[in-house]
Structure formats: structure tokens, C-alpha cells
Amino acid sequence: MTTFPPFFFKLLLTSQALLLCPIAWADADLWGGKPTLGLEYEHQKMAFGAGHSNALTLVPGLRFKNAFINKVDFLIEGERENEVVDGVNEKARAKKLALRLKKNFELNDTWELFVRGLVGREFSTGENFNYSYIDTGIHYERGAFGFMVGLRFQRTLDGTAGHDRNKIRLGPSYEIDAHHEIEFRFIRAWDAQTRKRDSDALIAEYTYTF
């Protein structure tokens, strides 16, 4: 049975505390943007049976409708990894903090291009390093339903080896109403240097817009 570290439960309690008071935030504007709160769960399976990981991310942010930057997110992530090394299952934990910006380019009423950039730091028992990524993609939306396809180019910023990845991301989304949205993503990752498949991941994300 999969168990999660205490950090996961702290994220859950924090998100629940914020979501229990939607009335106070209903008409909130911060610097001209609408506050949002996302909660993302990711299950990642390493290639060739090398292990798996589970991660939970809390994503407070601001959404701007008519601005140069359309979305600002702060990511707080806790991850637990089970890696098989020489037949031995080794467990590790990591925490990540990151800042992410997004710019949308509307083509028409249903199609939209986007670019996202992130800078963050990972803390773990084995190593600490800075990293970044650039997302590019296209998003289709009709009514409450949406679908996106995109590429991600992830690199370390301080030369730490073994974390440079290229990824393809795709999946649907659904706006339940003006406040609630759910997204599902499939991600396939390759090592940026060797081009070998690194992992596959499934992501489910819920976002509340205040």
C-alpha cells in the first residue's frame, strides 16, 4: 500500500483551509488579478521498471485577463520516489519550490497558443539544485471542454547532471463552473542528452478560482 510523507498532508490541510472560506474571496482582486488555488497529483512511472514516484503540488496563483502576463503561479511540491537500483528498492523524498509565469496568445474563440516559464529549486536528501523549464503548446476550448498539446524543455541551472528532460504533454480539461476546473494530463519524458525514454506520468489537477 502506498503511503505519503507528512508533507503531503500539510499541503492538503492548507488547501482545505483556504477552500473552506470561498465567500470571503468571492470578489477578491489582487493587483488586478483573480486569485486561484490548484491542487495537483502526479503518478510517475520510470522507464524499464526503474521505479515510480508520487507527488502532490499546491499551486496558489493569480490569473490576469488583460495583461502582458496572464498567469502567475507559486508551486509548493512534495514528492516520494521509489527507485530500483541493482534489484534493491530505494526510497527518497524531495521538496520543490518554484515560480511560474504564463502568456496566452488567442488565435480565435476556440484556439489559443501559450508559453510558460518556470524557475525553481529542488531539496532532497541526495542533492539540491536549481532548475527551469519552458512550456510551449496549443489549447483548444469549446464550451466547458478543453484539450491541450504541448512540449516542455526542462534544464538544471547549476550543472547538476541527470535532470535535463524533454517532455510531451497532452490531455483534456473541464470547467465545471466559473470557480471550479479539472484537468488531466499524460506526460512522456526523454533524457535531453541520450534521447532515451525516461518516464511516463499521469496528472490530475483541480483549480479553484476565487
pTM over 0.95: no
The Cα 67–Cα 58 span in angstroms is 24
Selection from 20, 25, 4 nearest residue 210 by Cα: 25
Selection from 207, 73, 90, 46 nearest residue 133 by Cα: 73
The total of other beta-carbon atoms located within 10 Å of residue 169's CB is 18
Spell out the per-residue pLDDT of the chain, length 210, in tens.
444 445 545 555 555 555 555 444 445 676 778 999 999 999 999 998 889 999 999 999 999 988 999 999 999 999 999 887 666 678 889 999 999 999 999 999 999 999 999 999 999 888 899 999 999 999 999 999 999 999 999 999 998 988 999 999 999 999 999 999 999 999 999 999 999 999 999 999 999 999
What confidence score (pLDDT) does residue 138 get?
A: 98
**Structural fold of domain 6-209:** Lipocalin (2.40.128)
List, in sequence order, every beta strand (DSSP E) within 3-110: 34-46, 51-63, 71-85, 88-106
What confidence score (pLDDT) does residue 105 get?
A: 97
Selection from 24, 89, 13 nearest residue 52 by Cα: 89
What's the half-sphere exposure (Cβ side, CA atoms, 13 Å) at 77? Answer: 23
49 by Cβ neighbours in 10 Å (0-12 / 13-18 / 19+) ranks as exposed
What confidence score (pLDDT) does residue 151 get?
A: 98
β-bridge partners, 40: 57, 205
Q: What are the percentages of helix, strand and coil residues in the chain, rounded to 5? A: 10, 65, 25
Per-residue model confidence as pLDDT tens digits over 13-50? 555 555 555 444 445 676 778 999 999 999 999 998 88
End-to-end, the C-alpha distance of the chain in Å comes to 36
What confidence score (pLDDT) does residue 78 get?
A: 96
- 89 and 57 Cβ atoms separated by less than 8 Å: no
Residue with cell 514516484: 53
What confidence score (pLDDT) does residue 66 get?
A: 86
Selection from 163, 169, 180 nearest residue 114 by Cα: 169
Domain residues of the chain, as ranges?
Answer: 6-209
